[in-house]
């Protein structure tokens, strides 16, 4: 009975001692066909779940191929920093495993990774980037060779998550090690002594 109680005390103590992980960055894989071309790579957010703002997008590395010209890379702040991001409206949302864009929204929303006057990938709810609603891209400077995929519903544009969150990777082994240490500590037989 005492041994069982000590095991529960050990579990409760271990749970109390483990820190609560901070919100970690989440990286989503991009692999989509756009017209005769493609966009591949990743988009990283700050871990926010729900509607995203431009500040929630912390990095990206996207290889754009329009099917005709040489592919180009658009790189975010931690990947080379050769491009910018623009997010208008509230059409981009994140789940734990996907980035979702509402192409059917009526708010004029747009998500764009771009070099000024040059290569661009644009997710748009309005006739804007190429004259159609959907995903468009171009690899040229100036941007004169758009290819596009028309979309009208809510679609996943990236996912699943590329890797587990760093906090999970660090805390899980630490928790297991603490439990094993505490179990070993309390595994000795209980002896009553009399004086």
- Which pLDDT does position 161 carry in this prediction? 85
The domain limits of the chain are 26-158
Residue with tokens 């590329």, as numbered in its chain: 162
Residue 130 has pLDDT above 70, yes or no: yes
> E strands along the chain, which residues?
26-34, 37-45, 50-51, 57-65, 72-75, 84-88, 92-94, 99-102, 110-114, 120-124, 134-138, 147-150, 154-158
The predicted model gives 35-51 an average pLDDT of 97
Q: Which two tokens stand for residue 152?
A: 């009208």
Q: How confident is the model at residue 132 (pLDDT cuts 50, 70, 90)?
A: confident
- Helices 166-186 and 2-17: crossing angle in degrees, nearest 10, is 150
- Mean pLDDT for the chain? 83
The stretch 140-150 carries a mean pLDDT of 90
């Amino acid at each position: 009975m005492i041994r069982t109680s000590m095991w529960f005390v050990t579990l409760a103590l271990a749970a109390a001692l483990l820190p609560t992980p901070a919100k970690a960055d989440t990286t989503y894989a991009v692999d989509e066909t756009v017209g005769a071309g493609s966009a591949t790579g990743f988009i990283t957010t700050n871990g926010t779940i729900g509607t995203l703002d431009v500040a929630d997008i912390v990095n990206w590395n996207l290889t754009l191929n329009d099917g005709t010209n040489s592919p180009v890379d658009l790189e975010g702040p931690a990947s080379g920093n050769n491009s910018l991001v623009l997010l208008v409206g509230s059409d981009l949302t994140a789940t734990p495993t996907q980035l979702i864009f509402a192409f059917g929204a009526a708010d004029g929303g747009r998500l764009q990774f771009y070099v000024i006057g040059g290569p661009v990938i644009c997710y748009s709810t309005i006739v804007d980037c190429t004259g159609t609603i959907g995903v468009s891209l171009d690899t040229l400077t100036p941007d004169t060779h758009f290819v596009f995929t028309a979309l009208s519903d809510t679609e996943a544009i990236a996912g699943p998550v590329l890797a587990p969150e760093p906090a999970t990777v660090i805390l899980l082994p630490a928790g297991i090690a603490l439990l094993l240490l505490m179990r070993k500590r309390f595994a000795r037989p209980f002896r009553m002594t009399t004086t």
